[in-house]
Protein backbone atom coordinates (compact mmCIF):
# COMPACT_ATOMS: atom_id res chain seq x y z
CA UNK A 1 0.00 0.00 0.00
CA UNK A 2 2.80 2.40 0.90
CA UNK A 3 4.40 1.90 -2.53
CA UNK A 4 1.15 2.27 -4.46
CA UNK A 5 0.40 5.36 -2.45
CA UNK A 6 3.74 6.90 -3.14
CA UNK A 7 3.56 6.12 -6.86
CA UNK A 8 0.02 7.42 -7.03
CA UNK A 9 0.76 10.71 -5.34
CA UNK A 10 3.80 11.33 -7.50
CA UNK A 11 2.27 10.79 -10.95
CA UNK A 12 2.06 13.78 -13.27
CA UNK A 13 -1.64 13.02 -13.82
CA UNK A 14 -2.42 13.10 -10.10
CA UNK A 15 -0.62 16.42 -9.82
CA UNK A 16 -2.59 17.84 -12.76
CA UNK A 17 -5.85 16.67 -11.25
CA UNK A 18 -5.05 18.34 -7.94
CA UNK A 19 -4.12 21.49 -9.84
CA UNK A 20 -7.47 21.38 -11.62
CA UNK A 21 -9.28 20.80 -8.36
CA UNK A 22 -7.60 23.79 -6.76
CA UNK A 23 -8.66 25.90 -9.72
CA UNK A 24 -12.31 25.14 -8.98
CA UNK A 25 -11.76 25.34 -5.24
CA UNK A 26 -10.45 28.86 -5.65
CA UNK A 27 -13.71 29.80 -7.41
CA UNK A 28 -15.59 28.34 -4.47
CA UNK A 29 -13.53 30.07 -1.82
CA UNK A 30 -13.40 33.47 -3.58
CA UNK A 31 -16.78 33.67 -5.28
CA UNK A 32 -18.84 30.92 -3.58
CA UNK A 33 -19.21 29.09 -6.88
CA UNK A 34 -20.42 25.58 -6.16
CA UNK A 35 -21.84 24.00 -9.28
CA UNK A 36 -19.24 22.95 -11.83
CA UNK A 37 -20.30 21.35 -15.10
CA UNK A 38 -17.91 19.16 -17.07
CA UNK A 39 -18.67 18.92 -20.77
CA UNK A 40 -16.99 18.51 -24.16
CA UNK A 41 -17.79 18.79 -27.84
CA UNK A 42 -18.52 15.12 -28.42
CA UNK A 43 -18.86 11.71 -26.77
CA UNK A 44 -15.92 9.76 -25.33
CA UNK A 45 -13.61 12.67 -24.65
CA UNK A 46 -13.23 11.87 -20.95
CA UNK A 47 -16.01 13.91 -19.29
CA UNK A 48 -17.15 11.16 -16.93
CA UNK A 49 -13.59 10.09 -16.12
CA UNK A 50 -12.61 13.66 -15.25
CA UNK A 51 -15.86 14.42 -13.37
CA UNK A 52 -15.48 11.38 -11.14
CA UNK A 53 -11.77 11.94 -10.53
CA UNK A 54 -12.45 15.57 -9.65
CA UNK A 55 -15.31 14.63 -7.33
CA UNK A 56 -13.14 12.10 -5.51
CA UNK A 57 -10.25 14.57 -5.27
CA UNK A 58 -12.67 17.09 -3.78
CA UNK A 59 -14.18 14.67 -1.26
CA UNK A 60 -10.73 13.64 -0.06
CA UNK A 61 -9.57 17.20 0.36
CA UNK A 62 -10.39 18.32 3.92
CA UNK A 63 -13.54 16.18 3.87
CA UNK A 64 -15.21 18.62 1.49
CA UNK A 65 -18.89 17.74 1.18
CA UNK A 66 -19.08 16.84 -2.49
CA UNK A 67 -21.85 15.71 -4.83
CA UNK A 68 -21.40 14.16 -8.28
CA UNK A 69 -24.47 14.12 -10.54
CA UNK A 70 -24.71 12.07 -13.71
CA UNK A 71 -26.65 14.38 -16.01
CA UNK A 72 -25.78 12.41 -19.15
CA UNK A 73 -29.13 10.62 -19.30
CA UNK A 74 -28.46 9.27 -22.81
CA UNK A 75 -25.08 7.64 -22.13
CA UNK A 76 -24.84 7.30 -18.34
CA UNK A 77 -21.61 5.85 -16.93
CA UNK A 78 -21.16 7.19 -13.39
CA UNK A 79 -23.11 4.26 -11.88
CA UNK A 80 -20.68 1.85 -13.56
CA UNK A 81 -17.60 3.71 -12.33
CA UNK A 82 -18.88 3.68 -8.74
CA UNK A 83 -20.58 0.29 -8.98
CA UNK A 84 -23.95 1.73 -8.01
CA UNK A 85 -27.40 0.90 -9.37
CA UNK A 86 -28.55 3.07 -12.27
CA UNK A 87 -32.10 3.12 -10.89
CA UNK A 88 -33.36 5.68 -8.37
CA UNK A 89 -31.39 8.44 -9.93
CA UNK A 90 -31.89 11.86 -11.48
CA UNK A 91 -34.38 10.77 -14.18
CA UNK A 92 -36.50 8.95 -11.57
CA UNK A 93 -36.64 12.08 -9.44
CA UNK A 94 -37.44 14.38 -12.36
CA UNK A 95 -40.28 12.13 -13.45
CA UNK A 96 -41.61 12.00 -9.86
CA UNK A 97 -40.77 8.33 -9.41
CA UNK A 98 -38.27 8.78 -6.59
CA UNK A 99 -37.77 10.96 -3.50
CA UNK A 100 -34.79 13.22 -2.88
CA UNK A 101 -33.34 11.18 -0.02
CA UNK A 102 -33.45 8.01 -2.13
CA UNK A 103 -31.47 9.40 -5.04
CA UNK A 104 -28.51 10.59 -2.95
CA UNK A 105 -26.29 7.51 -2.88
CA UNK A 106 -23.40 6.82 -0.54
CA UNK A 107 -20.00 5.92 -1.94
CA UNK A 108 -16.84 4.41 -0.48
CA UNK A 109 -15.75 7.99 0.23
CA UNK A 110 -17.55 9.38 3.29
CA UNK A 111 -17.73 12.97 1.96
CA UNK A 112 -18.90 12.01 -1.53
CA UNK A 113 -22.50 11.38 -2.58
CA UNK A 114 -23.46 10.37 -6.08
CA UNK A 115 -26.69 10.75 -8.05
CA UNK A 116 -26.81 8.24 -10.87
CA UNK A 117 -28.63 9.04 -14.12
CA UNK A 118 -31.66 6.92 -13.27
CA UNK A 119 -34.34 5.60 -15.60
CA UNK A 120 -37.49 7.10 -17.06
CA UNK A 121 -39.90 6.75 -19.98
CA UNK A 122 -39.69 10.48 -20.61
CA UNK A 123 -37.22 11.95 -23.07
CA UNK A 124 -33.84 13.08 -21.66
CA UNK A 125 -34.14 16.55 -23.17
CA UNK A 126 -37.52 17.06 -21.57
CA UNK A 127 -36.23 15.97 -18.18
CA UNK A 128 -33.03 18.02 -18.38
CA UNK A 129 -34.86 21.17 -19.47
CA UNK A 130 -37.35 21.06 -16.60
CA UNK A 131 -37.26 23.85 -14.02
CA UNK A 132 -37.43 21.14 -11.39
CA UNK A 133 -33.77 20.43 -12.14
CA UNK A 134 -32.76 24.03 -11.41
CA UNK A 135 -34.77 23.85 -8.15
CA UNK A 136 -32.88 20.68 -7.29
CA UNK A 137 -29.54 22.41 -7.94
CA UNK A 138 -30.59 25.19 -5.58
CA UNK A 139 -31.46 22.70 -2.82
CA UNK A 140 -28.07 21.04 -3.18
CA UNK A 141 -26.31 24.36 -2.74
CA UNK A 142 -27.28 24.35 0.92
CA UNK A 143 -26.09 20.81 1.56
CA UNK A 144 -22.86 20.55 -0.42
CA UNK A 145 -19.73 22.61 -0.89
CA UNK A 146 -18.75 21.36 -4.34
CA UNK A 147 -21.17 19.89 -6.88
CA UNK A 148 -19.80 18.32 -10.05
CA UNK A 149 -22.19 17.87 -12.95
CA UNK A 150 -21.21 15.23 -15.50
CA UNK A 151 -22.94 16.69 -18.55
CA UNK A 152 -23.66 15.37 -22.04
CA UNK A 153 -21.55 16.71 -24.92
CA UNK A 154 -22.63 20.05 -26.38
CA UNK A 155 -22.67 19.31 -30.11
CA UNK A 156 -25.12 16.40 -30.49
CA UNK A 157 -27.87 17.71 -28.17
CA UNK A 158 -29.05 20.86 -26.42
CA UNK A 159 -28.98 19.25 -22.93
CA UNK A 160 -25.66 20.87 -21.98
CA UNK A 161 -27.03 24.26 -22.98
CA UNK A 162 -29.88 23.91 -20.47
CA UNK A 163 -27.56 22.58 -17.80
CA UNK A 164 -25.22 25.50 -18.42
CA UNK A 165 -27.99 27.88 -17.33
CA UNK A 166 -28.17 26.27 -13.91
CA UNK A 167 -24.46 25.93 -13.06
CA UNK A 168 -21.88 28.46 -11.87
CA UNK A 169 -18.95 27.41 -14.03
CA UNK A 170 -18.08 25.12 -16.93
CA UNK A 171 -15.01 22.99 -17.66
CA UNK A 172 -14.54 22.00 -21.28
CA UNK A 173 -12.71 18.72 -21.88
CA UNK A 174 -10.69 18.36 -25.06
CA UNK A 175 -9.26 15.04 -26.19
CA UNK A 176 -5.60 15.49 -26.97
CA UNK A 177 -4.81 15.07 -30.65
CA UNK A 178 -8.43 14.52 -31.60
CA UNK A 179 -10.74 17.42 -30.83
CA UNK A 180 -10.38 19.69 -33.86
CA UNK A 181 -10.00 23.41 -33.31
CA UNK A 182 -13.13 24.33 -35.27
CA UNK A 183 -15.17 21.68 -33.41
CA UNK A 184 -13.94 23.00 -30.06
CA UNK A 185 -14.86 26.54 -31.14
CA UNK A 186 -18.30 25.37 -32.26
CA UNK A 187 -18.78 23.64 -28.93
CA UNK A 188 -17.88 26.77 -27.01
CA UNK A 189 -20.17 28.90 -29.17
CA UNK A 190 -23.05 26.49 -28.75
CA UNK A 191 -23.04 27.27 -25.04
CA UNK A 192 -24.43 30.65 -26.11
CA UNK A 193 -24.97 33.02 -23.17
CA UNK A 194 -23.10 30.68 -20.84
CA UNK A 195 -19.81 30.98 -22.71
CA UNK A 196 -18.57 33.41 -20.09
CA UNK A 197 -18.95 30.71 -17.45
CA UNK A 198 -16.19 28.61 -19.03
CA UNK A 199 -13.38 28.41 -16.49
CA UNK A 200 -11.01 26.75 -18.89
CA UNK A 201 -10.29 23.67 -20.91
CA UNK A 202 -8.96 20.34 -19.68
CA UNK A 203 -6.76 18.46 -22.10
CA UNK A 204 -7.38 14.78 -21.62
CA UNK A 205 -4.53 12.64 -22.81
CA UNK A 206 -6.07 9.26 -23.52
CA UNK A 207 -2.67 7.66 -24.13
CA UNK A 208 -1.77 7.74 -20.47
CA UNK A 209 -3.62 5.74 -17.88
CA UNK A 210 -5.74 7.80 -15.57
CA UNK A 211 -4.24 8.44 -12.15
CA UNK A 212 -7.38 7.61 -10.31
CA UNK A 213 -9.33 4.45 -10.25
CA UNK A 214 -12.66 4.56 -8.48
CA UNK A 215 -11.38 1.62 -6.48
CA UNK A 216 -11.40 2.66 -2.85
CA UNK A 217 -8.00 1.14 -2.11
CA UNK A 218 -6.27 3.79 -4.20
CA UNK A 219 -7.69 6.59 -2.15
CA UNK A 220 -6.71 5.71 1.32
CA UNK A 221 -4.17 8.46 1.62
CA UNK A 222 -3.70 11.42 3.90
CA UNK A 223 -4.24 14.92 2.61
CA UNK A 224 -1.13 16.86 1.84
CA UNK A 225 0.29 19.51 4.10
CA UNK A 226 0.36 23.06 2.70
CA UNK A 227 -2.10 22.03 0.01
CA UNK A 228 -4.06 25.23 -0.28
N1 LIG B 1 -6.93 9.92 -19.64
C2 LIG B 1 -7.43 8.74 -19.95
N3 LIG B 1 -6.62 7.68 -20.07
C4 LIG B 1 -7.10 6.49 -20.41
N5 LIG B 1 -8.39 6.22 -20.68
C6 LIG B 1 -9.25 7.23 -20.59
C7 LIG B 1 -8.83 8.55 -20.21
N8 LIG B 1 -9.91 9.35 -20.19
C9 LIG B 1 -10.95 8.58 -20.55
N10 LIG B 1 -10.56 7.31 -20.80
C11 LIG B 1 -11.42 6.19 -21.26
O12 LIG B 1 -12.09 6.61 -22.47
C13 LIG B 1 -13.44 6.17 -22.45
C14 LIG B 1 -14.38 7.37 -22.56
O15 LIG B 1 -14.20 8.17 -21.40
P16 LIG B 1 -15.43 8.85 -20.66
O17 LIG B 1 -14.88 9.55 -19.47
O18 LIG B 1 -16.53 7.86 -20.43
O19 LIG B 1 -15.87 9.89 -21.79
P20 LIG B 1 -17.19 10.78 -21.95
O21 LIG B 1 -17.83 10.87 -20.61
O22 LIG B 1 -16.67 12.07 -22.47
O23 LIG B 1 -18.04 10.09 -22.97
C24 LIG B 1 -13.63 5.37 -21.16
O25 LIG B 1 -13.49 4.01 -21.45
C26 LIG B 1 -12.51 5.87 -20.26
O27 LIG B 1 -12.11 4.88 -19.34
MG1 LIG C 1 -19.75 10.26 -20.00
Q: Mean pLDDT highest for which of 37-46, 184-193, 203-212, 215-224? A: 37-46
Q: Which residues of 166-204 are buried (b: 16+ CB within 10 A; e: fewer)?
A: bbbbbbbbbbeeebeeeebeebbebbeebeebbbebbeb
Contact (Cβ atoms closer than 8 angstroms) between residue 168 and residue 33: yes
Domain count, the chain: 1
Residue 114 alpha carbon to ligand 2 centre in Å: 14
Q: What is the pLDDT of residue 9?
A: 58
What's the whole-number mean pLDDT along residues 23-43? 96
What's the whole-number mean pLDDT along residues 197-225? 56
Q: Classify residue 218: in a domain, yes or no.
A: no
Q: Classify residue 228: in a domain, yes or no.
A: no
Q: Is the pLDDT of residue 210 over 70?
A: no
Q: Classify residue 26: in a domain, yes or no.
A: yes
Q: Classify residue 170: in a domain, yes or no.
A: yes
Q: Please give the mean pLDDT across all residues of the chain.
A: 86
Q: Classify residue 225: in a domain, yes or no.
A: no
Residue 94's CATH number: 3.40.50.300
> Which ligand lies nearest the alpha carbon of 53?
1
Mutate to test the pocket of ligand 1, among 40, 82, 203, 206 (most ligand atoms within 8 A of CB): 206
6 Cβ neighbours under 8 A, 6+ residues apart: none
Q: Classify residue 226: in a domain, yes or no.
A: no
Q: What is the pLDDT of residue 206?
A: 65
Residue 127 alpha carbon to ligand 1 centre in Å: 25
79 Cβ neighbours under 8 A, 6+ residues apart: 70, 85, 86, 89, 114, 116, 117
Q: Classify residue 133: in a domain, yes or no.
A: yes
Q: What is the pLDDT of residue 220?
A: 35
pTM of the model: 0.89
User: What proportions of the chain, in percent to the nearest 5, are helix, strand and coil?
Assistant: 45, 15, 40
Percent share of the chain, pLDDT over 90: 69
Q: Classify residue 221: in a domain, yes or no.
A: no
Atom 2, ligand 1: which residue's CA is nearest? 206
The range of the structural domain enclosing residue 16 comes to 2-213
Mutate to test the pocket of ligand 1, among 14, 49, 155 (most ligand atoms within 8 A of CB): 49
Amino acid sequence: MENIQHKFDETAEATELRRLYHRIRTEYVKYRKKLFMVTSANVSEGKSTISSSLAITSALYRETKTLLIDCDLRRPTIHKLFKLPLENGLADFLSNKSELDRILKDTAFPSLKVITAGTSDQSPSRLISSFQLYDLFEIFRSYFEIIIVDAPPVIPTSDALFLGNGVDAILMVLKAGETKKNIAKRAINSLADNKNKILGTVINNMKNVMPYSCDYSYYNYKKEKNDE
